[in-house]
Amino acid sequence: MVAIRLSRTGAKKKPTYRVVVTDKRRPRDSKTLEIVGFYDPRPSPIELNLKRDRIDYWVGVGAQPSDTVKRLIKFFDNEGGPTLSQPKKKALQEAAEAATPAPRPEPKAAEPVATESAEAAPATEEQPAEA
């Protein structure tokens, strides 16, 4: 079975990832069929570049994307494609806002009801007197 998943690259404690198409039975960083993207989670605006047309091709012929790759594809599509530059903090804030329900409005206090009727009130300069 063919899988679309992340392959780790980069130095120790400084990971970057390639989005690769590979046989599911192979080890994580082994030989791949095709490199279809790049993901760097460390900088403040994360870097995510995907070859969306190639990913669509591989999914069309039966490749299964991993859960992480599905999430990255969804994020890539929502943020506008190859020019993606989303600060991590903003992404985390948006996720937190989506997870918390909207605050419920507080009930309004009842307004006092007028006890005098309009007929009993004396005519003033603002109100025209009836002839």
Q: What is the 3-state secondary structure (H, E, C) of 55-89?
A: HHHHHHCCCEECHHHHHHHHHHHHHCHHHCCCEHH
pLDDT at 90 over 70: no
Q: Which residue range(s) make up the domain with 36?
A: 2-81
Q: Domain for residue 56, yes or no?
A: yes
- Number of domains the chain is built from: 1
pLDDT at 87 over 60: no
Q: Domain for residue 44, yes or no?
A: yes
Q: Domain for residue 111, yes or no?
A: no
- The pLDDT value given to residue 84: 44
Q: What is the mean pLDDT of the chain?
A: 79
- The pLDDT value given to residue 92: 57
Q: Domain for residue 119, yes or no?
A: no
- Spatial separation of the C-alpha atoms in residues 111 and 115, rounded to whole Å: 13
Q: Domain for residue 96, yes or no?
A: no
Could you give the strand order of the β-sheet that contains 2-11, starting from the edge strand earlier in sequence? 47-50, 34-40, 14-23, 2-11, 64-65
- The pLDDT value given to residue 78: 82
CATH number at residue 38: 3.30.1320.10
**Given the structure tokens 């599905």, which residue do they identify?**
70
Q: Domain for residue 7, yes or no?
A: yes
Please, which pLDDT band fits residue 77 given cuts at 50, 70 and 90?
A: confident
- The pLDDT value given to residue 100: 61
- Spatial separation of the C-alpha atoms in residues 104 and 110, rounded to whole Å: 18
Q: Domain for residue 90, yes or no?
A: no
pLDDT at 128 over 70: no
**pTM of the prediction?**
0.59
List all residues 6 or more positions away from 129 whose beta carbon is below 8 Å from its beta carbon. Answer: 123
Q: What is the mean pLDDT of residues 4-23?
A: 93
